[in-house]
Structure formats: C-alpha cells, structure tokens
Homo-oligomer: A and B are copies of this chain.
Amino acid sequence: MDFKDYLEELGKLECKDLFQNDFFLTWDKSDDELKAIFTVADALRELRVNNKSAKIFDSGLGISLFRDNSTRTRFSFTSACNLLGLEVQDLDEAKSQQAHGETVKETANMISFMADVVGIRDDMYIGKGHTYQKDFADYVKEGHEDGVLEQRPTIVNLQCDIDHPTQSMSDALHIIHEMGGLENIKGKKIAMTWAYSPSYGKPLSVPQGIIGLLTRLGAEVVLAHPEGYEVMGEVEEIANKNAQASGGSFKRTNDMAEAFKNADIVYPKSWAPFAAMEKRTEFYGDGKFDEIDKLEKELLAQNAQHKDWTCTEELMATTKAGKALYMHCLPADITGVSCDEGEVEASVFDRYRVPLYKEASYKPYVIAAMIFMQKIKNPKDKLQELWDKDQSRINE
C-alpha cells in the first residue's frame, strides 16, 4: 500500500468521534476508529520516510505524566510529539503529592495551561490508573468550560491498570504488516501466554490489552497461564464479546503447550496475578508496607513454581509450521542473558530480534496517529495537504 491507498482507506472510515476525544481503552473505540488510527500511523510513517514534514503544530506542548518508570514509551511519546510539532514537558512529581482527588484536580489544571495533549502512564495500582486518567480528563474538560484553560488538552493513555493501548495497537500494526493486511488476521491462532520471570509484579495491562484488541480482529485468541494468574474478569468478558462479534474466538487454558500448538503468533510474557495486585493496592491504601513486602516474597515464590512456563525452541517447533511469529513488548527476560531463567530462550529471542524491534518501532507512529486524530477535524484532507506541501523534514 502506498500513501494514496492509505488516504483512500481512511476516506471509507467513520472516525470523526476521535476528534477532540481522549484515548483510554481500545474497547471504547469502534472498529472503524481503530482502523483509522492504524491507517494514519502508516501514513505518517510514509510522510517521514519521504522526508515530508508532518508538523501540524506551530507551537504547543505535550505533557508527559509518568507515574511509573519508562524508557521506550517515553521516547515514543516524545518522538510522536516532535513529529507533529509539539515540545514535551515532563511532570516529575512525587506520587504522594497527587494522593487525593483535590490535588489531582489542581494538578490537572496547573500543568495544562498551554497543553495540547497529556500522555499519562499510571499502571501501578489496580483500580487506580484508569480512574486517575478519567478524573484528569474530566478536570481539564471542566477547566476548559470554566474558562481556566483556553483549550481542552486531550489524553493519551500511555498505560493504565486495565489497558495499554499504544502497546497493543503497535503490536497489532506489526501483525498487520507481517500478515499483509488487517483482513489476514481473521482465523489466525494467537497465543497470549504467561511466562516465568524472576522479577515481580509486571503489569497486567499488556495481556489484557492484547486479548481485548485482537479478539475483535477475528483472531482465535488463547490466553494461557498457570492457575492463580488470572487477569481482570471484566477484560475477559470483553474479549469474549469481541470474539463473538468478530467471528473469532477467545479461550483460556492453564496449559502453555496447548496454547502454542499450531499457533500463528505467540506472545509469552510475565505478569502478576490480578488478585495479588488487588491485595497489594489494598495494603498500599492502608499504608501496610510490611504486608506489601511479604506479598512480594510470596509472589516471587509462587512465580518460581512455574519456571517451566518459558518459550523454548521445543515449544516453538510445535507452532504452525514451526514458524509462529514471536512477539514481546520488551524488554524481555532472556534465559542466560538478562537472567538465569526467564521468559524465553536466547536462541528464540535472537531469531526474532529484527521483528521484535520492528514491533516496537510502530509505537511512535501509533501515538502520533492518536494525537493527529484528536486534533485534526478532516484527517484525510490534512494528510493530503502535508503530502502536497512537501515541506522537507530535513532540509538536506
């Protein structure tokens, strides 16, 4: 597909509700809206590859509010903002300063005077991250209506406790490119499986995001994990509903081998049990830090009982033609490389290094596409205009 095709595709999609709207969860959005974001991401990449500027802002700020560490999402957000003409300002705020509602309201207004977009990562506590983002969005909407803010900054969810849409959308865009089109995902078996990691408490938003998104693209999605590593029930329900609507399927199993068998795509990755994360949030709320330490030790011991959940060459050989696409959000825990025993054997990881990096490389464009759709009323016309204007990004 070339640029013209992207615009033609975009023209067919009903996506005007993305304008001036926030992006919290993929399942808030229609199929057309998600397709529009994939298409615009590809179109923006095409502009850049052709050294054409995609700047739609003369000046403006993108605020990044990370309540958890991040390197690659931070760089992706900065890249996306820069591509569109926004400067990034980080909020480095100790978490405690934003502990209760009053202060979130104030912070939301105080950092948004000239903000066009606010990217938020808040994935530490179950039941908190998504709520925080929604509250933030409500407060800046109110601030705009009250005349405090000249514009309503839109929110991009850079990971919450429920979903990680910029990750799952990048993953999906990678699959689209690998499979030669969105329509080719239909009927493919995708194994989203738990894998052993020596580290603790990895967020649930990646597996949840994947089962919530890929089920609606018509895939046969299998979620595999040891007993006790359940994800949020409400996201499983969404996955079920999505699968029914799309003609795909959603199954759960406690057997990694079963999930891998004949799979087109495998995504083995560690996460923490939802129930434990809920307990942890409770302890945190009550200031029971000793209990948190204890819980952490228990979880590590629990993890250690499942070291056999690892992506081996042997398992890979059981996938479709022994050639399933291996995926990961990175960084992975690689056995013998970044840890003694981890999520994946080094030889498997190495074989898929290039596709893994490509998978990651879609994230800046997915974020840029989300912002683009939030800010541009007629995205097709604007993209055409940027193409025709042909302003060199680097003026060699």
Residues in A lying within 8 Å of B, measured CB to CB: 45, 48-49, 53-61, 71-72, 75-76, 78-79, 82-83, 85, 87-89, 91, 93, 100, 102-103, 105-107, 109-111, 113-114, 116, 143, 146-150, 330-331, 334, 337-338, 353-354, 357-358, 360-361, 363-364, 375-377, 382, 391-396
Say whether B55 contacts A58, CB under 8 Å. Answer: yes
Question: Which of A59, A102, A360 has the most chain B CB within a 10 Å cutoff?
Answer: A59
A111-B75, A113-B361 are known contacts. Are A58 and B391 too (CB-CB below 8 A)? Answer: yes
For A102, give the chain B residue with the smallest CB separation. B337
Contact B358 A147 (CB under 8 A): yes
A393 closest partner in B (C-beta): B58
The residue in chain B whose Cβ has the minimal distance to the Cβ of A55 is: B59
Does the CB pair A111–B148 fall under 8 Å?
Answer: no
Nearest chain B CB to A151 CB, angstrom units? 8
- Inter-chain CA distance A146–B357, complex, in Å, is 9
CA distance A377 to B394 in the complex (A): 12
Nearest-neighbor residue (CB-CB) of A145 within chain B: B354
Q: Which residues of B contact A116 (CB under 8 A)?
A: 394
The smallest beta-carbon distance between A198 and chain B, in angstroms, is 15
Which listed residue (B79, B87, B102, B149) contacts A114, Cβ 8 A?
B79
Docked complex Cα distance between A76 and B112 (Å): 10
The 10 closest A-B pairs by CB, nearest first: A79-B114, A148-B357, A53-B58, A146-B354, A72-B110, A109-B357, A78-B89, A56-B395, A58-B393, A113-B364
Query: In the complex, what residues of B have CB within 8 A of residue A58's CB?
Result: 53, 55, 391-395
B55 adjacent to A78 (CB under 8 Å): no
Per assembly, the copies of the chain total: 3
Residues B354 and A103 in contact, CB atoms below 8 Å apart? no
Chain A's interface: helix, strand, loop or mixed, by majority?
A: mixed
Q: Are B56 and A79 within 8 A (Cβ)?
A: no
A330:B60 contact, CB within 8 angstroms: no
A57 lies within 8 A of B393 (CB) = yes
Closest to A81 in B: B87
Complex contacts, A55 vs chain B, CB 8 Å: 58-59, 395
Is A79 a contact partner of B57 (Cβ separation < 8 A)?
no
Given the complex, which residues of B lie within 8 Å of A358, measured CB to CB?
Answer: 146-148
Find out whether the CB atom of A148 lies under 8 angstroms from the CB atom of B361: yes
Q: What distance in Å separates the Cβ of A143 from its nearest Cβ neighbour in chain B?
A: 6
Once bound together, how far apart are the Cα atoms of A337 and B394, in whole Å?
47
| A109 contact set on B, CB distance < 8 A | 357, 360-361
A41 smallest CB distance to B (angstroms): 12
Find chain B residues with CB under 8 A from A111 CB.
Answer: 71-72, 75
CA distance A241 to B395 in the complex (A): 39
A240 to chain B, nearest CB (A): 34
Taking A113-B361, A358-B148, A360-B110 as contacts, is the C-beta distance between A394 and B82 under 8 angstroms? no
Tell me the bound Cα distance from A82 to B114 in angstroms: 9
Q: Which residue of B lies closest to A45 (CB)?
A: B150
Residues of B within 8 A of A79 (CB): 61, 113-114
Q: How far is the CA of A71 from the CA of B100 in the complex (A)?
A: 17
